[in-house]
Amino acid sequence: MGADIDGAIESRSSDGVWRFEVALWTLGPGRDTNAFQCLFGTGRGEVGTDRPFFARRGLPDDVSDPVREGSAFGDCEHSHTYATWAEVAAVDWDAPITDGPAWLWAGEWRSGEDGDLVLHDLAWVTPAINEAADDAFGGDFDSPAEWPPGGEVVLDGVVYRPVVLTARMFVSPDKENWVALWTAMRDLAAEHGDENVRLVAWFG
């Protein structure tokens, strides 16, 4: 299935009717497949989240006519869903989104300013990391998720450890390509109320 996002932001006025506000394509999140998995549980990302936030809820029954028409433009649209600004604002971006260490990722730890190791970045697990784990732990390992408790691998001066993924690692509120969307929703919520602004999205 395709992994391009489409949709719109809607607001609900005092008469209870939802109205189209802005098309999602103008806000530019682009094809961010790992973020799509975290938020909506769809797309060909590499996160493997067990708990996407707003997965496949369908179209709201009271969706505005322009958004309903746009969501049925062709035969390839799928994974329709929605989320109010109140729900987005309540997301704990630092909560685990998987039930254990990531299979395809490792935490990349480097020395901080005080000399202590700090989590610097996520690293894609390469054959070299797996081979270093085999040497360190005396086995045949395919993933950091299989390393013994407390296990870590040092390769080219970098320390790699198993990592439990969080949404902030892929789609934080200040991630550049999502800022315009979240800002638009926040600004509209300041006018209409948090429960009266929502994102309606689908994929194709």
Q: Is 140 left (phi over 0), alpha (psi -120 to 50) or beta?
A: beta
Q: Identify whether residues 57 and 151 lie together within a single domain.
A: no
Q: For position 74, what pLDDT does the model report?
A: 63
The token pair at 174 is 């200040």
* Total number of domains constituting the chain: 2
Domain interval for residue 42: 5-96+167-203
- For the chain, the average pLDDT equals 91
Do both 126 and 84 map to the same domain?
Answer: no
- Cα first-last separation, the chain: 7
pTM of the entire predicted model? 0.85
**Statement: residue 93 has pLDDT above 80:** yes
Q: Are 19 and 8 in contact (CB under 8 A)?
A: no
Residues 80 and 157 in one domain: no
172 and 92 inside one domain: yes
- pLDDT tens string 117-169: 999 999 999 999 999 999 999 989 999 999 999 999 999 999 999 999 999 99
Q: Are residues 25 and 63 in the same domain?
A: yes
Query: To which residue do tokens 């948090």 refer?
Result: 194
Asked if residue 147 and residue 121 are part of one domain, the reply reads yes
Same domain, 30 and 84: yes
Q: What are the angstrom distances between the C-alpha of 110 and each of 16, 61, 107, 118, 161?
A: 53, 50, 10, 6, 11
